[in-house]
Amino acid sequence: MIIPEIKNLSAKYLIGNHLEMCMASNRTIELWKNFMPRRKEIKNSIGVDLFSVQIYDTKFNFLHFDINANFEKWAAVEVADFTNVPDGMQTLILPQGLYAVFLYKGAAEEGEKTFRYIFETWIPNSIYQLDNRPHFEILGSKYKHKDPDSEEEIWIPVKHK
């Protein structure tokens, strides 16, 4: 059983790239392959963490998951402000709000089990429900792509039931 930490996130400013996709035609690798070589062009970044952000439509159903349902996925870094946005990159504000933060350890390919637990077990049995804000993962210094010892934070937007 994974117990999340409940955190109140202050608004964050991100610069990066995004693509529309669904799980059936997952374009995550394409998104990150295009973003990573250019991330150094972002001059006012805060820290070294990478943000993998998902923005879902209000009708997106996490309990009856449709692998063909589209969502917007971002590869981004946090910045101090939007004064210097490299050509071809976009801006995103993560709004302030309450999040359930889960520490995930393991290869990204094994993450589905953790997400199933979050949406099918933890949320229904908690005092929280999903909130309509972006979901994201913070890929920090312990993140190692495809490594079973990798660590990342999964941030799920919640509000009291």
pLDDT digit string (tens) for 27-73? 999 999 999 999 999 999 999 999 999 999 888 888 777 889 999 99
Q: Is the pLDDT of residue 82 over 70?
A: yes
CATH class for the domain made up of 5-160 = alpha beta
Q: Is the pLDDT of residue 1 over 70?
A: no
Q: Distance between CA atoms of 123 and 153, rounded to whole angstroms?
A: 17
Cβ pair 150, 106 in contact under 8 A: yes
* Secondary structure (DSSP) of 107-154: -GGGHHHHHHIIIIIIHHHSSEEE-SS-EEEEE-TT--TT-TT-EEEE
46: tokens are: 């805060």
pLDDT digit string (tens) for 114-129? 998 999 999 999 999 9
The pTM (predicted TM-score) of the whole model is 0.94
Q: Is the pLDDT of residue 111 over 70?
A: yes
